[in-house]
Structure 1
Amino acid sequence: MTAHFGPKHEEELVNDVDVTTVDGSRQWSPDGVTPGGEGRSIPAVDGVRHRFVDTPRLRFHVAEAGSGEPVLLLHGWPQHWWAWRKVIPLLAGDHRVICPDLRGFGWTDAPRSGYRTEELVDDLIALLDVMGLERVLVVGHDVGGRLGFHLSLRDPTRVRRLVTLNAVHPYWSARSMGASGALRSWWTPLVETPLLGRQVVRHLPAFTRMMLRLGAVDRDVLSPDEVAEYVAATREPARARASERLMYEFAYHEIIPTLRGRNRSRRLTVPTLMLNGERDVRLSPHSLGGWEPYADDLSVRVVPGGGHMLAEQHADLVTEEIRAFFATGRQPG
Structure 2
Amino acid sequence: MDPRLAHLLPRGPARPADRRDLELPRRDRHRKPPLMARELPYLADVEHRFLDVGGLRTHVALAGDGEPLVLLHGWPQHWWQWRHMIGPLAQRFRVICPDLRGLGWTDAPKTGYRPGVMADDIAGLLDRLGVDEFRAIGHDWGGLTGYLLALRFPERMRHYIAINTASPFLRPTPRVLADGVRLWHIAANAAGPLLAARAIPEWALRNWTYRSAAMTPEDRAIFLAQFEEPARVDATVGYYRNLLTHEIPLLLAGQYRWSRLRVPTLILVGDRDPLLPVSATREFGSSAADVRVEVFEDVGHFPATEQPERVVDLAMEFFGYQKSLSNPSKPPKFP
Deviation at 1:290, TM superposition (A): 2.5
Cα distance in 1 for partners of 2:114, 2:242 equals 5
State the one-letter code of the partner of 1:211. Answer: A
Look up the match of 1:51.
49
Q: Helix, strand or coil: the match of 2:127?
A: helix
Could you tell me which runs of 5 or more consecutive residues in structure 2 were left unpaired when the two chains were aligned.
11-32, 322-328
Query: How well do the aligned residues superpose, as a CA RMSD in angstroms?
Result: 2.1
Gap regions ≥5 residues in structure 1: 11-34
Percent identical among aligned pairs is 37
One-letter code aligned to 1:5: L
Q: Which residue of 2 aligns with 1:22?
A: none
Corresponding position of 2:263: 270
Q: 1:151 aligns with which of 149, 152, 159?
A: 149
Q: Distance in 2 between matches of 1:6 and 1:247?
A: 33
The equivalent position to 2:63 in structure 1, one of 59, 62, 65, is 65
Alignment of 1:1-333 (within 5 A): 4-5=4-5, 7=7, 37-175=35-173, 178-193=176-191, 196=192, 198-202=193-197, 205-327=198-320
Give the CA deviation at 1:178.
Answer: 2.3
Farther off after superposition, 170-179 or 291-300? 170-179
Compute the displacement of 1:3 (Å).
Answer: 7.2
CA distance in 2, matches of 1:233, 1:75: 14
For residues 71-106 of structure 1, the C-alpha deviation after alignment (integer angstroms, 9 at most, x for no partner) is 000000000000000000110101000000000000
Q: Distance in 2 between matches of 1:51 and 1:318?
A: 26
Q: Which amino acid aligns with 2:215?
A: L
Describe the superposition over 1:95-125 as per-residue Cα deviations: whole angstroms up to 9, x where unpaired: 0000000000000010000011111111111
Which letter does structure 2 place at the counterpart of 1:94? R
Deviation, structure 1 residue 224: 1.1
Q: In structure 1, the residue corresponding to 2:184 is in which secondary structure? A: coil
Larger radius of gyration: 2
Find the residue that maps to 1:50 and give its secondary structure. strand
Deviation at 1:221, TM superposition (A): 1.2
- What is the SS of the residue equivalent to 1:170? coil
Verify the 8 A CA contact 1:221 1:312 in the aligned structure 2. Answer: yes
Report the 3-state secondary structure (helix = DSSP H, G, I; strand = E; otherwise coil) of the residue aligned with 1:147: helix
1:207-245, Cα deviation, whole Å (9 max, x unpaired): 321111111112201111111111111231000001111
Deviations 1:43-89 (A, max 9, x none): 01111111111122411100011111010000000000000000001
What is the deviation of 1:302? 0.5
Q: Quick one: which amino acid aligns to residue 157 of structure 2?
A: V
| Alpha-carbon shift at residue 292 of structure 1 (Å) | 2.4
Cα distance in 2 between the residues matched to 1:291 and 1:99: 27
SS in 2 for 1:85: helix
3-state SS, counterpart of residue 135 of structure 2:
strand
Write the distance in 1 (CA, Å) between the matches of 2:287 and 2:174: 14
State the shift of 1:199 in Å. Answer: 2.4
The residue type equivalent to 1:76 in the other structure is G
Cα drift, residue 190 of structure 1: 1.0
Q: Rate the CA distance shift 1:8–1:207 in 2: closer, same or farther, 3 A.
A: closer
| 2:120 partner letter | D
Q: 1:288 Cα shift?
A: 2.7
CA distance in 1, matches of 2:315, 2:174: 26
* Gap change, CA 1:177 and 1:74, over 3 Å in 2: farther
Q: Note if contact 1:199-1:240 (Cα within 8 Å) is conserved in structure 2.
A: no
Contact 2:189/2:200, CA 8 A, preserved across alignment: no
TM-score (norm 1): 0.85
Distance 1:76 1:207, change over 3 A: same
- Counterparts in 2 of 1:206 and 1:268: CA distance versus 1, 3 Å: same
Matched AA of 2:4: H
What is the CA deviation profile of residues 125-145 of structure 1, one whole-angstrom value per residue up to 9, with x for unaligned ones? 111111110111000011111
Separation in structure 2 between the aligned mates of residue 180 and residue 304 of structure 1, nearest angstrom: 23
The structure-2 alpha-carbon separation of the partners of 1:177 and 1:276, relative to structure 1 and needing over 3 Å to count, comes to: farther
SS in 1 for 2:60: strand
- CA 1:50 to 1:3, structure 2 compared with 1: closer, same or farther past 3 Å? farther
Structure 1 residue 180: deviation in Å?
4.7
Which residue does 1:32 correspond to in 2?
Answer: none
Match of 2:17 in 1: none
C-alpha offsets along residues 284-321 of structure 1, whole Å, 9 cap, x if unaligned? 12213320210000111101111101000000000001
TM norm structure 2: 0.85
Paired amino acid for 1:92 = A
